[in-house]
Each structure stands twice: as structure tokens, then as C-alpha cells.
Structure 1
Amino acid sequence: MGGVQEVQLQIRGISGPPSGSPKDTEAAGDDRPQPRSKLKHWRWWVAVAANVFFILAGQTVATLLGRLYYNEGGNSMWMATLVQSAGAPLLIPFLLLPPSQSDSSSSSAAAPPVPRAAVASTYVALGLLIAGDNLMYSYGLLYLPVSTYSLICSTQLAFSVAFAYLLNAQRLTALILNSVVLLVFAAALLGVSSGSDGSSDVPKGKYPLGFALTLGASATFSLILSLMQRAFQRVVRRETFAVVVEMQMWTNAAAACASVAGLFASGEWRGLAGEMEGYGKGRAAYVMTLLWTAVAWQVSSVGTVGLIFLVSSLFSNVISTLALPVVPVFAVVFFRDRMDGVKVVAMLIAVWGFLSYIYQHYIDDSKAERPSDRDEPIVENTDTS
């Protein structure tokens, strides 16, 4: 689904609005003027809304451009894989930002530093997994209509729950189980359908293979998320904005190197010049399609990193998955994908599954806020007169 999505780490402890929010000010008994705290609160919400937009727009544009690459004559699997992670250097400016006060306090309270060799080997291992995952997604996008592809990708949320339960000891509730079952049903509906969408741009007879590869890629992506969480807990041992961006950048750099190696080992690099010359919209459009696909994945990455830092990794993961049913709507407009009854039902089931998942975590957040309300000091009336 793109190297950008691998930054959706399930990091614990990075959640909620900044310490300057009205809620924190009231709890601390601060008598500072309220307009200033309200301004900080609104800035936080504007930042969250902007990052949500980056994820939705980035993923949608990148997926549609990936389909356009195939439709206009592109056929290099390794090139389609490379552009999903090749934009990693675009994240370097975020590493140059000065650390925030919360980052500084987190670093000062962190455990002793881990040897860089252990961190580097972890990044390389994750990068290789990401490259393989991106390759499966590339095949899936080639062999499936983009609307079907996106709906199958929505099962990554169900796989995330399963791996989080097995590897990260996440508890399961009735609402989460309901979400998993609904997403599985949505994928099953697409799996048992005929696979013919009336799209001449999709290779005939490849629907079962495309379905299996996309489903496998979604499962692998969810496994990567759980492994990243364990890497943060066992290897990196720090949870700051800079560290999150660093993991995103270096794992994608490793994935890009693996993709370049695959491009040369497979011999596909020899056909790139001819592919450019035969591209339906021209040579310039060929370069721009690949360039903006890489940029779009990194725009989504910036939004993902921002939501991890501002709210939580879980919220970032949900927003990223929620973007997937948006793609079929644009696929109908731009690629004339047929939106039949099976797809409509699958989309509605998937959206209902997302809502169940989000509602469960709304309940969890509400419960988490109650103790802070009870922790406020109670002033007793000691006047006995």
C-alpha cells in the first residue's frame, strides 16, 4: 500500500491534545487568560484536520496515479514498487526541526541508548519486509480494478487487530470483533464475485491472483505495524516525533534500495526507456506520473506522522484505513470502474466496520478521561461555625 503507510506505528503514550489545551489548564488550576489557551486548542484541532486531509488526499492520489501508470502503458512491477518508498528523502526537513518541549522531556527520561547497529539492523529488516509488501500491492493494483483493490485493502484493519492481539497483547472487545467480522465479510463478498468489472485495462483471468496478493499484502502490512510497535518497545525505546520520522525515513530508504536491486536483478531496467517512449500520455507525463506518485505517498506519510504525534498511532491507522473506501468513488469518475451492487454492499459493510472500530476507541478515550476528572482536588468545608 505504499511505504508511507508503514509509519502507522502503534506507539503507546503519544495521544491527546498538547499540554496547553484548556482541559489541562483547568486541571492544573492555571489562572492564565483563557483566550490564549483557546487559541492553542484551536491550533491543535487545525493541525489534526490538516494531517487528516494529508492522509486522505495523499493515499487517494497515489493509488489513482498508480492505476494511471498501468493504464497508459507502464508495466514495470519494480518501478511501481520503488515509487512507493523512493520519496523518503522528502522527510529530511522534518528531522531538522527543533525538538519540542515534550520531546526533550521524553528523551531525558528515556532508557540508556541502544547500540546503533541494533537499530540499523531493525530498520533494514523492516525495510525488506516493506519492499516485499509494496511489490505484492503493485501486482494487486495491476490485476484488479482500483475500486476492488481499495476495498480489499480495507481488510488491513482486521489483520491489524489480529496481529495486535497475538503480538502486542491488545484486548478484544465485542465492537472490535464486530468490526473484524464485517471487514472479513466485505472482502468475502468481493472474493466470491465474478471478478469482471467491465474494465478493459485489467488483465483477463488474473482476478484470483490479484485478490490473493492484495489480501496477502494487507496481512503483511498489518504484521509490519505490530513488528514496528515491538521495535519501539524493545529496540528503539524512545517515542518522540523525531524518532517516528527517523523510522519512517530509514525503513523506506531500505525498501527503496531493495526495490532498486529488484529492478536491476529482474532486468526490468532495460525496458524502462521503451516504456517511457510508449507511454500513452507522453514522456513528460511518464516522469510526472512516477514523480507525483512518490510525492503523494510522502504527503500521506507526513499526515500519518503528524497524527501519531498529535493524537495517537491508533487514530492515524483508522484514518488511513478509512481513506480506502474513498478511492472507489474517484475510480468510477476517472477510470470508469463499474460500481455494481456487490461493491456497494461491500463498501457499506466496510464503512460500518470502521464506525464500530472508531466507536470502541471513543468509549476507551471517554473512560480514560474519567479518572483525571476524579483526581481533581476536593476542597472540603472545614468551617464548623
Structure 2
Amino acid sequence: MEDAPSKPLWDKISAYKTMAWEAYKSKPISYWVLLLLSSGAMLIAFPASSLLSRLYYSNGGKSKWIISWVAVAGWPLIVLMLVPTYFICGTFPTPLNLKLILAYVGLGFLSAADNLMYAYAYAYLPASTASLLASTSLIFSALFGYLLVKNKINASAINAIVIITAAMAMIALDSDSDRYGNITDKQYILGFVWDIFGSALHGLIFALSELVFVKLLGRRSFHVVLEQQVMVSLFAFFFTTTGVIVSGDFQGMQSEARTFKGGKSSYILVLIWSVITFQLGVLGATAVLFLSSTVLAGVLNAIRVPLTSIAAVILLKDPMSGFKILSLIVTFWGFGCYIYGSYPVSKEPS
């Protein structure tokens, strides 16, 4: 009698195993290799990019524009991946029209602004805190997706929004133990606010990108996804480069490199690896979205948050208070609620 209640659980586990096996058999091995590589890129490159941004500031870097610039300077890497797809798939570049160009220009400008907001966040906040706050982009993606693309918001999504918001409030309440000694109250608040604004803008960009696919492109193939990423990154690069030139931060790189901890070579390596890791993360996320779904991307993003926070504590000696640990657990739980609610409910056979 005691074993009876556990039987449905084992039935569900067996059903999931069968479903996973059927899904595995339905795709060629090359698909799973590409999905594995893409997922690995997300889980390794994005946390590495976040840590490098914080390392730049902790070792003497000061420019917000430079960190914004390295986030888009690697756009030619996406071109190198895009061009072969035309030959392999036998396709042609998507024709550009005025509406599509304006959409790419608008998304490029928003991406440039988003990168600048995140640069302020990493300048004033520990990498673990900035990563946790950036997880609120899930909330804004759901809200803007509902408003602009008419995506559905179910009870699990609402529950996730409330939970993640509560987790962010925990960090705000514990700001005294979560701040570097050289950061003032005003700078910490600015970093906190810009991180939330950047996450909101990131959610808006995600929804607008989906809207471009639905309204202007009318299709979603791998090379079209890469084309959009190239064009948006190109315009973001143009806007950010203009900002770096106008601010005079390009000219200040020489003096910044001389005073950088570890010297000029360390300064150059941090910037180069920042360029590479950010673009690898973007490519990985793009491939996961195309090959699988936004749900898997959400799962990987949920895993990325604790990975970044733990790595920041170990490698950068980030402060990790009890409140932040609790916030990390609650955030992860919120992601779980959202992901669980995003899976379609299959009907039991009668």
C-alpha cells in the first residue's frame, strides 16, 4: 500500500525517458553535436564575458564606452559563420527594404544603449550581483513578448515574475555587504538601476527581434537568424564606435593600458578575450534558439546565473552574503517555474 502513491511518479519518469529517447532518434547525430556545442558556448562564453568585464574594472579600467565597444567589435565573427551557410544550404541573402533596414538600425541603437547600461552595472557592482540582476531580463522578455508579439503569459510565468522580483529586492536590502570598498553609495545605486534598465531593454530587444521575424521576414531559418544578428551588431558597432570617438576614450586607451594591473599585455588580452567570449555566447544563444526553443535557452540562462555568481566568488573574490545566496536560490527557483510553465502540456491518451 505504501508503494502505491509513488507509482505515478515512476510512470512520469518512464514517460519522460521514452519521450527523450524518441526525440533523440528523430534527429541526426550532427544536430545533437551542434546543439551540444551551442549550449556549451552559452554556458562558458557568457559567464567568461561577464567576469572579464568585471576584471577590466577591478584591474584599473575606467571606460564604460570601451566595454560597450568590445561587446560588438566581434561582429565579423558572425559574418564568418554566415557566409558558408549560403553555399552549404544553397540560399541567397535576404533582400533588404526600407522597413527592414530601419528595424535593424533601431535594434542596433537599442543594443548599443543596452551594452552601455550593462557596462555601468559591471563598473559599480560585483559580477555575481550584476549577473543576478540581469536575470530580470526574463521578466521583461515575458512582458514585452505579451504586449508586442501577443505571447501568452500563464500562471507559472506570473509566479516566476513575482519570485525573481522578490530575489532582486533581497539584494537591494543587503547592499551594505555587497559592495566593494572603493564604490560609493551613489555609484552602487547607479549600477543597480542601470542593470535593471539594461535588463528591461534586453527584454524589449528580444521581443522586437521576434516581431521582425513575424512581421517583416515571415520566416525563421538559420541563415536569416544570423543575418539579423550581423546587421544589428553592425549598426550597434557603428553607434558605439561613434560614442567611443566622441568621448575620447579611444585616445585614453594608451594611458589606461600603462596603469592597468599586469601591464599593457594584460590589458590587450582582457579586451581581446572579451570580444571573443561575448560573440561566442551570442552565437551559441542564437543557435540554441534556432535548433531547439526559447525554453531550452531559458534553461541554459537559468544555469548560467549561478555559474557566473559562483565563478565570480571563486575567481574574483566577490562578496557572497547569506542574502545573496538566498537570492540566488530564489532566482533559480523562479527560472524553474517559468521553464516548467513554458512546456506544452501533453494530453494523456484516453
| TM-score bracket relative to the smaller structure | 0.7 to 0.9
Match of 1:52 among 39, 51, 54: 39
User: Aligned partners of 1:321 and 1:137: how far apart in 2?
Assistant: 18
Counterpart of 2:274 in structure 1 is: 293
Distance 1:295 1:202 in 2: 29
In structure 2, how many angstroms separate the alpha carbons of the residues matched to 1:275 and 1:337? 24
- What CA deviation, in whole Å up to 9, does each residue of 1:147-201 have, x standing for no partner? 1111111111111111111111122212111111111111111122234435335
Task: Give, as a single letter, the amino acid of the residue that structure 2 aligns with 1:235.
Answer: L
Report percent identity of matched pairs: 31
Q: Normalising to structure 1: TM-score of the pair?
A: 0.79
- Listed as ranges, the matches of 1:115-154 within 5 Å are 115-154=96-135
Q: Distance in 1 between matches of 2:234 and 2:168?
A: 32
Q: 1:224 to 1:98 in 2, by over 3 A?
A: closer
Offset from partner CA, 1:332-372 (integer Å, 9 cap, x none): 1111112111101100000001111111123x1x52xx69x
Instruction: List 4+ stretches of structure 1 deviating above 6 A.
Output: none
**Gap change, CA 1:195 and 1:100, over 3 Å in 2:** farther
Matches within 5 A, 1:16-165: 23=22, 38=25, 40-98=27-85, 115-165=96-146
More displaced 10-residue stretch of structure 1: 80-89 or 116-125 = 116-125
Counterpart Cα distance in 2 of 1:247 and 1:195: 42
AA aligned to 1:118 is: K
More helix by share: 2
Residue of structure 1 in register with 2:8 after alignment = none
**Alignment-mate amino acid for residue 85 of structure 1:** V
Deviation digits for residues 198-218 of structure 1, max 9, x if unmatched? 533545541111111100100
Q: Which has the higher Rg, Structure 1 or Structure 2?
A: 1
Distance 1:231 1:99 in 2: 21
Structure 2 residues without counterparts, runs of 5 or longer: 1-19
Residue matched to 1:190:
171
1:355 and 1:100 mapped to 2: Cα distance? 40
Distance in structure 1 (CA, Å) of the matches to 2:37 and 2:60 = 34
Tell me the distance in 1 between the aligned counterparts of 2:334 and 2:179. Answer: 28
Count of residues in correspondence between the two structures: 330
CA distance in 1, matches of 2:309, 2:173: 19
Match of 2:326 in 1: 345
Deviation of 1:47 (Å)? 2.7
Aligned-partner residue type, residue 84 of structure 2 = L
1:360 to 337, 341, 350: 341
Residue identity opposite 1:73 in structure 2: G
* Equivalent pair of 1:190/1:346 in contact (CA under 8 Å): yes
- Post-superposition Cα deviations, 1:211-255, rounded to whole Å, max 9, x if no partner, equal 111001000100111111111111222211001011111111111
Question: Mind listing any 5+ residue stretches in structure 1 that lack a counterpart?
Answer: 1-20, 25-36, 375-385
Query: TM-score under structure 2 normalisation?
Result: 0.87
How far did residue 284 of structure 1 move? Answer: 1.1
Aligned-CA RMSD value: 2.6
* C-alpha separation in 1, matches of 2:68 and 2:341: 35
Q: Report the Cα distance in structure 2 between the residues aligned to 1:254 and 1:232, rounded to whole angstroms.
A: 18
Is the contact made by 1:78 and 1:263 (CA closer than 8 Å) also made in structure 2? Answer: yes
